[in-house]
Structure 1
Amino acid sequence: MSAPAPDGPAVAGDEPRNLDDYVVQYGRLPFEPLQAAVRRRRVLQQVRSIAPRRLLEIGCGLDPLFTDLPDVQEIVVLEPAAAFASAARAAASGCRGVTVVEARAEDVAPADLGAPFDAVVLSSLLHEVPDPSALLLAVRRFCGRSTVVHVNVPNARSLHRLLAVAMGLVEDVYALSPVQRQMQQRGTYDLDGLRAELAAAGFVVARWGTVLVKPFPHAQMQELVDSGFLTPRLIDGLDSLAEALPEIGSELWVDAEVADV
């Protein structure tokens, strides 16, 4: 199984996204800063392994990558949310080789950004847009033959989802959680579903894995942090565990390449 299709059952992503509300809700999420830190660590690791000269980041949120990638000669950020784009511009002030564009990837001509890029990053984004196929086809236009596209999304087979099914709290691991509805997300991916969407846009998965084995939902994880039980060392251990048990990590990542035609 894969994530719900955009024309499938009504979910949060079937209606136009309210980006202003998304920005507000994002700032209120429990545990998300810690989850985001683990996610970012993996993204940076994969980008550094690619060693791109030119990087395109699509959807930077509150923490654009360029602040931790001083060796990349040129970085372009495409961010449709006004508040996030404004914050990225402020962070880019004085940074050489960084350009922030407030726009959707689907609405920008590749020539305007000097495509192709050596690497493209879509971090925590594909599951939030109403039409992932359109986004991936737009991304393909920014790619050359050797471009690597790094994508990460929530993993439908995360341990906390498997546990919820085992407890009878939800019928299956693909059910939308209250947090997903709050954040206007349209669904959750497994590896087969993500591979299929990438393949339809002209990509093949070269590498994959997960991050952070997360036993419980965000709210319960935050309670463990607040109690002092869930320490930084324990979080690092749960993240390392995802390398040994990649099927059950909380977020799925892939490095995709342009398919041979």
Structure 2
Amino acid sequence: MSLENEQDPTAYDRTYVLDNRLTLQWYPQRVVAMAQTGSMLELGLGHGYSTEYFAKTFQRYQVVEGSQEMIDRFRKRFAIEGVDIAQGYFEDFETAERFDSIGMGFVLEHVDDPAAIIRRYAQFLSPGGSIYIAVPNAESLHRRLGHAAGLLPDIYALNSADLEFGHKRYFTLESLVTMVQGEGLEIRKVEGLLLKPITTQQMLDLNLSEAILQAMLKVGVDYPELCNSLLLQASRPA
């Protein structure tokens, strides 16, 4: 279950539903594969996929969410225990608590100053803790192929759907690593989320089996520079 079917249907079609189902179910699984399962602070409720997964995995789990409407919607649709939701803007959040893991899943493409968000939340890490950042990848294989075929004039430009969903930027592997290192963090691991060689609409038209879709996720782990999205683990220097 997710929050996506509560979106305005004019702003959310089935192609994005498939992308979200694949990527947002895979993202928390990959984070947990890398993380300590003590405490977790996550930025945003999103579509509810990671919230549901993390709440069952971490001993202590808190979410920062700016929208009271999203919090109310989440509480209405999910009967999940162990989720502590703090209402407030990411930029203003304060806590004396320190967390083993901090999740920034598909957040930094939406905010005004992503480097400032990383800088702010790095101070909330416990010793040895990690930040997990997932962002869309401008240089994904399907975008590169679309550009080479003349279907996508500029792989780095935002399209109308990006703007409708509140995206302010794309990232590349290089730009993400440079930004994170610029905030004094060390890169621990980088993985890819969803290696798709064609557009989501083409995937739907081909009626690909679930086994093939899952293979796109599994194979993509080792090829971040070609994947639909990037997942990066970073920590403060020892």
TM category, shorter: 0.7 to 0.9
Q: Contact conserved, 1:140 with 1:202, CA < 8 A, in 2?
A: no
Gaps of 5+ in 1: 1-22
The 1:94–1:166 alpha-carbon spacing in structure 2 relative to 1, beyond 3 Å, is closer
Residue identity in the other structure for 2:22:
V
- The CA deviation at 1:208 is 0.6
Where in structure 2 are the equivalents of 1:146-225 lying within 5 Å? Answer: 146-224=128-206
- The CA deviation at 1:93 is 5.3
Residue number in structure 1 paired with 2:39: 54
Residue number in structure 2 paired with 1:8: none
Residue number in structure 2 paired with 1:252: 230
Quick one: distance in 2 between partners of 1:26 and 1:54?
38
- The CA deviation at 1:59 is 1.2
Q: What is the TM-score with the length of structure 2 in the denominator?
A: 0.85
- The CA deviation at 1:199 is 1.7
Do residues 87 (structure 1) and 65 (structure 2) align?
no
Q: What is the TM-score with the length of structure 1 in the denominator?
A: 0.78
Quick one: distance in 2 between partners of 1:109 and 1:143?
13
Aligned CA RMSD, in angstroms, stands at: 2.5
Where in structure 2 are the equivalents of 1:22-61 lying within 5 Å? Answer: 24=8, 28-39=12-23, 40-61=25-46
Quick one: distance in 1 between partners of 2:109 and 2:9?
16
- The CA deviation at 1:222 is 3.9
Quick one: distance in 1 between partners of 2:233 and 2:190?
6
The 1:71–1:250 alpha-carbon spacing in structure 2 relative to 1, beyond 3 Å, is closer
- The CA deviation at 1:244 is 4.8
Superposed CA deviations along residues 41-77 of structure 1, whole A, max 9, x for unmatched, are: 2322322432321110101212153422424221101
Superposed CA deviations along residues 79-113 of structure 1, whole A, max 9, x for unmatched, are: 112332223344675614x21112122212122xx
- The CA deviation at 1:148 is 0.8
Residue number in structure 1 paired with 2:213: 235
Q: Contact conserved, 1:47 with 1:119, CA < 8 A, in 2?
A: no
Residue number in structure 2 paired with 1:127: 109
Gaps of 5+ in 2: 1-6
Quick one: distance in 1 between partners of 2:39 and 2:214?
30
